[in-house]
Amino acid sequence: MRLKDKVALVTGAAGGIGSATAKRFAEEGAMVILSDINEEGCNKVLKEIEEKGGKGEVIPADLTREGDIVAMFSRIKERYGCLHILANIAGGEFEPNVGVTDITYEKMSYNIDANLKSCILCSREAARLMVDQKYGKIINMSSIAYRGNAMQITYSAAKGGISSFTRTLALCLGGHNINANAIAPALIETEIMRNTLGPEWEPFRQSIADRYPLKRVGQPIDVANCALFLASDESSFITGQIIEVSGGARL
């Protein structure tokens, strides 16, 4: 098992990518801490993990609140005394299909808070544990939108910030045997995406798939498998990288 005896925190664990990542980590032997604002969703994922013999715990938190983040890490330190892996997956697009002249302060701020600030603050708290133990894997969730997307303006800015932050984190923490990398997915088919678009999902999915060299959109497991590699010691000489899980999009 690639993550045997490791303690891993997965934020956004109730969502499609977060839940797939938590399950993969558990399958590979990690003790997985699942965090999300959606406690019920986390409990459902934990039940699936435990039914397959895995181990985990739910710590609900609103990661747009620094106090929730600090309290979560305090609980982790008190209960486990260590943290080997942090997967910063929490986030989302909260101002889609908006032109530059229609950007709102409220939605812009939430995009930055939920995506970028949560990543920075969770990484800060994780580093305080990982530096002392001289070991750690930090995996951040960017997006191919970090390159720029005309209809995802503030989301692209937040994801671009995550990419820059990840490189800087790698420079700061490499001497402590801590790897920091980011994953930048293209379109991933999740339940929330299907539910949001409803009957428009299928034609949208097909139109995007036709543009990708692999002729399909991504699945949560595609991202989870990349996260697993970055969380394992197989990636011990990889840091500061933005890995696109994109089916070849934007080549």
Residue 155 bears catalytic tag: yes
DSSP 99-163: -GGG--HHHHHHHIIIIIIHHHHHHHHHHHHHHHHT-EEEEEE--GGGG--TT-HHHHHHHHHHH
Query: Quick one: tokens of 81?
Result: 């005394």
DSSP 3-state of 34: strand
Q: Please tell me the distance from the alpha carbon of residue 85 to that of residue 96, in angstroms, as a whole number.
A: 31
**Alpha-carbon dihedral angle through residues 175, 166, 69, 31, given to the nearest 10 degrees:** -70
Q: Please tell me the distance from the alpha carbon of residue 9 to that of residue 82, in angstroms, as a whole number.
A: 11
Among the listed residues 80, 135, 146, 155, the single catalytic one is 155
End-to-end CA separation in angstroms for the chain:
34
Cα torsion 141, 230, 194, 122: sign: negative
DSSP 94-107: SSTT--GGG--HHH
Q: Say if CB 35 and CB 22 are below 8 A apart.
A: no
Catalytic site positions: 155
